[in-house]
Amino acid sequence: MPDTRFITEFDQYLFGQGTHYDLYNKLGAHPMTVDGEEGVYFAVWAPNAEAVSLVGNFNEWDGNATPMERLEPLGIYEIFLPEMEIGDIYKYCVTTKAGYTILKADPYGFQAELRPNNASVIADISDFKWQDSRWMKKREKFDDKKDPMFVYEVHPGSWKKHEQTEEDVDGFYNYREMAHELAKYVKDMGYTHVELMGIAEHPFDGSWGYQVTNYFAPTSRHGSPEDFQYFINYLHQQNIGVILDWVPAHFPRDAFGLAEFDGTCLYEYADPRKGEHPDWGTKVFDYGKTEVRNFLICNALFWLEKYHVDGLRVDAVASMLYLDYGREDGQWVPNIYGGNENLEAIEFFKHLNTIVKKRNPGIVMIAEESTAWPKVTDKAEYGGLDFSLKWNMGWMHDFLEYMKLDPYFRKYNHTKMNFAMVYAYSENYMLVLSHDEVVHLKCSMIEKMPGSYEEKFKNLMAGYAFMTGHPGKKLLFMGQDFGQHREWSEERELDWFLLEKEPNHQLQLFVKELLHLYKSNKCLYEYDCWPEGFEWINADDGDRSIFSFVRHSASGKNNMLFVINFTPVERPDYRVGTTCRRKHTLVLNSDDKKFGGKGKRRPKEYKPVKKECDGRKYSIQYKLPAYGVAVFKF
């Protein structure tokens, strides 16, 4: 090695403090020229190892051939190898204090082999020519409280597949072709963002990407890192945001991964009562170690800054916050105050979210947090975790329980649909109907619905309309916008052939209409996080199972009145109160023939009359069909 090392004392100082936010530029494998010689510099953190060497095809995987040099005080091993090239594969051969050797993939490696192989691949991600400057400039001003967000959740491996052959047994789309196909669909439908499951490299398809072994490597199932950069770049050019699922809660035990990396519990808590998830069989990151926190925070920044990703949906937040999550008595250790809160994870979230937002204005940090933990989206200085948005799991559970009911019994469960407004502004919420709700015998969205085949589609249209009008940003899993009948499986593509069937096509058209209505009317998103944006007209019409409410815009113009009937009973003389006497224009009618309705002619404009209804001075009369949805603009 030259005297001037690539890893400096200052690098080690920042790493030890947990504040080396660009550490991925130092650790890992980096092509470079040293003293006029081209090669690759390697560096890995393994403080408790007896020795570390580099192995690969270049030295016939001989653990004695290429020893690395140890740097103190942090125990980083480094080496520069001339003539190594992009595309070469490698691992670290770690000799433990106990005297045995283990082969480990690079924790900071930018690329990994396609499973079942698991070596790291030398990659250079600095040469891609980004062409999304207009999007990135606009992103700086994005406000996740006031701007529209209707997210399309996608599992890239099963959204669409090629016909499987002997040469292509998986049928996976490449990132580049997926970019064009997906952007076309998302733009046509009207979604604002896509959220990608399973991008960081993982060995087991059935984990859906939630058991990560290579945190800095986009999965090779769909191509190279450059291909993934192209994917992001193209979606940005098409005015579509990209959110990634991110998993800092746990990692698998695979021998080549992070588990017992240097022969000791380096990345995980050493005490199994803190360091292992009994239900999942995975390891838990040690949030008390500055170097581990640094690894995770710089990984989040890596995706946001090097790949231009627009936000992260942080998986399994509750499992990180609670020391007793998924554990029985005797399986967990209380904190220093005797409580079940993981104080180290709390500080990690505050650090993560504040630095990420400071360095990247306009990005979105979303918490999948399933409990009543307070202040998830409040500022860190006020005692909050500083997330941008929180998945509203309470709304989701109540909504699905209500929608699954036979309409006759909905009147006895009316509060399931209006209860969420009691706490709607306690956090900044995102309403979600995610992949978790259409697997493991839970049924697809359409098959959750009661009634005849035709009624299932009418029910789901009413449910989606309620979701669109309800305060909160939105997320819908792929396939549910056209009524996929089978539960989702990562092993096959969506049942796109269903779009040849009239009911599925009509449902898709209805969702498309909702999405474009949503994006083009500020009243449906700019006041999501403030009570001024929503007003019940009648939240208590349980006997008829009808909900009516108004969404207000900040300007007072282009407000919307929603009326939704959740029973198969037609209400030809239905009267609904309204907030003013101005003309109301019917902008969405589920009884339209294109949505599978009867197509009865009805006026487009309605003038409120001075007739009390729902406690309002003015009201309009409307022939409300069975399972009818009517949206008026005024």
As annotated, the active-site residues are 315, 368
Tokens of 380: 């860190």
Please name the residues in contact with 129: beta carbons below 8 A apart, sequence gap of 6 or more: none
Q: Using the structure block, give the residue that is written with the tokens 């949030």.
A: 287
- Report the candidate in 566, 586, 575 with the shortest Cα–Cα distance to residue 615: 575
Helices within 438-547 (DSSP H only): 445-448, 453-469, 502-519
- Report the candidate in 123, 131, 135, 233 with the shortest Cα–Cα distance to residue 175: 233
Greatest Cα pair distance, the chain, in angstroms, is: 90
Q: How far is the CA of 276 from the CAs of 251, 294, 325, 338, 465, in angstroms? A: 10, 21, 11, 20, 42
- Which helix H or strand E contains 589, and what residues bound it? strand 584-589
3-state per-residue secondary structure call for 14-68: HHHHCCCCCHHHCCEEEEEEECCEEEEEEEEECCCEEEEEEEEHHHCCCCCCCEC
Please name the residues in contact with 299: beta carbons below 8 A apart, sequence gap of 6 or more: 24, 215, 216, 246, 248
Q: How far apart are CA 540 and CA 630, in angstroms?
A: 18
Helices 453-469 & 502-519, crossing angle to 10 degrees? 10
Helices within 52-155 (DSSP H only): 133-139
Tokens of 569: 């009973």
Q: How far apart are CA 301 and CA 311, in angstroms?
A: 10
Q: How far apart are CA 548 and CA 550, in angstroms?
A: 7
Q: Tell me which DSSP letter residue 532 carries.
A: G
Tokens of 468: 């669109």
Q: How far is the CA of 170 from the CAs of 153, 155, 157, 195, in angstroms? A: 21, 14, 9, 22
Distance of CA 571 to the CA centre of its chain: 40
